[in-house]
A = this chain, B = another copy of it.
Amino acid sequence: MKIGFIGLGIMGKPMAKNLKKAGYNLWVNNRSRGPMEELANFGCVPATQAEIGEVCDVVLTMLPNSPQVREVMLAPGGVAEHMKPGSVYIDMSSINPVASREIAATLAERGIEMLDAPVSGGEPKAIDGTVSFMVGGKQEVFDRMKPLLLTMGASAVRCGEVGAGNTAKLANQIIVACNIRAVAEALTLAKMAGVEPELVFRAIQGGLAGSTVLNAKAPMMLSGDDRPGFKIDLHIKDLNNVLDCAHAVGAPVPMTASVMEVMQWLHAQGKGQLDHSAIAQYYEALSGAKLRE
């Protein structure tokens, strides 16, 4: 089975490496040359997007958002025009589920199957091959592709038809954003009340407040490490998709809207390239208290 991989960014590059390590034949493409050369040295075949479409049985993309996915796949001369009927397209980007369904419908006309399979876990889990896949698409296609996904991830759960993966990812991003903000609000209160946030973090880890966010992000807030990880600007992109989807289906998302405003403020302060744990800096600005030692 020949695999194409388009989009070798923070997440895509280590995921492609994990596929190669698992023994797959990999054709790779990226907007900039650096990651392609790195993967060529790793035994992958650098290729144009058209070549990938022609050669590969399965094409994977890991791109920033819906417009980039549409461009790569559906633009005149794009990948879809080169793919064979019966081949499979798996989009691992986090995009608007409405866009996923539209792209799948266009591909279906050409006899190409599609899964939307966005991931959660960030760069460390991409490197470890332990991301979580949230998948939408036909059961039969999912069953066939699951072993491929599990070379890059620890879990892959099918949530429904195409678009369901990205809908689950929106839910994921709501919870992550709100929980990060809650951790920042809570630790700031502790600090201002004269209690060491580091000790509070350790005391509450084992109880009902415990979470992957708490374990991953509280230490970053406390040490002042705001290297991404996952950038504020990317989370803003995801929350835009949440709000678009919510408005379209009439879902109430006041908490998401509020945390979106916090992230927009951070973006306006020039902090959009920082890790989303930098939400703590909103509370530091409001309170004058410093979580970071």
**Within 8 Å CB of A163, what residues of B?**
193, 195
Residues in B with CB closer than 8 Å to A249 are 189, 192-194
**Among candidates B131, B192, B195, B283, residue contacting A164 with C-beta atoms closer than 8 Å:** B195
Contact partners of A186 in chain B: CB under 8 A: 170-172, 174-175
Instruction: Pick the residue among B134, B182, B210, B252 that contacts A287 (CB under 8 A).
Output: B252
A170 to B191, CA, bound (A): 12
The answer to whether A207 and B121 touch (CB under 8 A), given A195-B167, A258-B258, is yes
- Interface of A, helix, strand, loop or mixed by DSSP: helix
A214 to B252, CA, bound (A): 19
In the assembled complex, which residues on chain B have CB atoms less than 8 Å from the CB atom of A75?
none
Question: Which of the four size classes fits the interface of chain A?
Answer: 35 or more
The reply to whether A157 and B202 contact each other, CB–CB distance below 8 Å, is yes
Does A256 belong to the interface (CB within 8 Å)?
Answer: yes
Contact of A168 among B176, B185, B190 (CB under 8 A): B190
- In the complex, how many angstroms separate the beta carbon of A100 from the nearest chain B beta carbon? 11
Task: Work out how many copies of this chain go into the complex.
Answer: 2
Q: How far is the CA of A211 from the CA of B217 in the complex (A)?
A: 13
Bound-complex Cα distance A220 to B113 (A): 36
Contacts of A136 in B (CB 8 A): 195
> Are the CB atoms of B283 and A252 closer together than 8 Å?
yes
In whole Å, how far is A232's beta carbon from the nearest beta carbon of chain B? 15
* Residues 222-254 of A contacting B (Cβ, < 8 Å): 230, 242, 245-246, 249-254
* Most B-side CB within 10 Å, residue of A122, A134, A135, A136: A134
With both chains docked as a complex, state the minimum distance between the C-beta of A289 and any C-beta of chain B, in angstroms.
8
User: Does A206 belong to the interface (CB within 8 Å)?
Assistant: yes
